[in-house]
Structures are given as structure tokens and as C-alpha cells.
Chain A
Amino acid sequence: QSVLTQPPSVSGAPGQRVTLPCTGSSSNIGAGYDVHWYQQRPGTAPKVLIYGNTKRPSGVPDRFSGSKSGTSASLAITGLQAEDEADYYCQSYDNSLSVSRVFGGGTKLTVL
């Protein structure tokens, strides 16, 4: 059971907009800690997509955007493309027991 909750799967048609939620609690996202998002294609290492809630590393298309409110965060992808089919993980900080990094359970995005 992951500390951050993500839906197991989300799907969308090419060109559509999808939103991937990440729900936390008062000991992580709700405590003000930043949320980061990673994309993982099959057989490869995760790659940072969004950091600091809303920031995109260079090279990440502006079709990807992040937001955060209260105890939740979300990743939005517009103009969905076949290459976006991957697993997406949110990550934050949790202070409930000790200072630690935590990941969500991941969402499998399927492009129909």
C-alpha cells in the first residue's frame, strides 16, 4: 500500500487531454512538500517529467503540466500521443515516521 494514491490505469484517445491524480495526506503533500512526476516506459528507468509541483526539465514537452492543491496533485497531458503510453509515478516527502521519500503506486496510461 503506497503512501501516495494513484489510480492503477487511465486511458485516452490520441489528441485528448488526460489528468492523472495523486492523493496524499497531511504528512506529505498536505504538509507543503513538493510533488514530482516520473514517466517510465517498459524496460527503462524512470525519467523526471515534472519537479517542484509545476516545473518541467528542459526537453520535456509543454504538453505535460503539473499542479498541486491541498493534499493532492495532478499531472495533465494534453494532445495525447502514442508515445505517452507509459507508467507515471508521483513522488513526495513524508514526515510521518521519519524523513523519507515516498512514491505513489503508479498509473498505467493507455493511449487508445
Chain B
Amino acid sequence: QVTLRESGPALVKPTQTLTLTCIFSGFSLNTSGMSVGWIRQPPGKALEWLALIDWDDDKYYSTSLETRLTISKDTSKNQVVLTMTNVDPVDTGTYYCARIAPGDYDHFDYWGQGTLVTVSS
């Protein structure tokens, strides 16, 4: 059974660094073809893909945010961590981690429940 769960601070001040952790089970990021990504959703707005990390440690970032994002993994702990520097109130929203389905189709097949992050002084 595949599960993912996000954790992180509910409130962050502007200019600070946000660190989010995704703890997953039911699969291993040591397995060839596995990937985990982060997606966010501002209140009342659309989904926005942020970053992705592959089993072989290849990393991909949203072009608009790549200077502020870092994604990493700890396969021994079944964790993926996303850091976002210099946060702003526009970064407020729900942050999801999700698994890319292994195989030929590049879709997010399992999602965490999301964690709400508010950026405010």
C-alpha cells in the first residue's frame, strides 16, 4: 500500500527558508524508475508543479522557481525534502508530494493529503 505524507511548518515569515518533508511507504526510491515530486496549490487557485527527484538522484525544477528550490532524498528514511528559500506571501498554499507512476506513463498516481503553509509576518 503506497502512502505519502507531508510535514512542515504551518507558518513561515517572509524571507525565511521553508523546509518540507515527504515521508512515504509502500515503495522505494532505490528502485529503478521511481520518482517523487512536489506540487503546490495557492488557496482557490490551480495546481503548480514545483520539483521532481528520480531514483538515480536526477532532479528537475520548475523554471520559474528553480533558483529558490532544492529537492533531495534520503532513501534510508524513505523521505524526500523540498527547501524553498526567500519565501513570500505569494508562496502561501497547500503543498503536496506525489509519486510518479512507475512505467510508461508519467502521471502522479499517489498523493499525500497536503500541508498548508502560510507565509506571513
Contact = CB atoms under 8 A, between A and B. Distances in A.
Given A45-B96, A46-B47, A103-B47, A98 B106 contact: no
Given A97-B63, A101-B52, A106-B47, A51 B107 contact: yes
Given A46-B39, A89-B46, A103-B46, 9 more contacts: A36-B106, A38-B108, A45-B112, A48-B108, A57-B109, A91-B107, A99-B60, A100-B61, A101-B37
Interface residues of A, number: 28
Contacts of B113: 44-45
A84 interface: no
B24 interface: no
Contact of B46 (A33, A98, A99, A105): A105
B101 interface: yes
B102 to A, nearest CB: 12
Contacts of A47: 111
B25 to A, nearest CB: 16
B60 A103 contact: no
Contact of A98 (B63, B96, B109): B63
Nearest to B63: A97
B114 A45 contact: yes
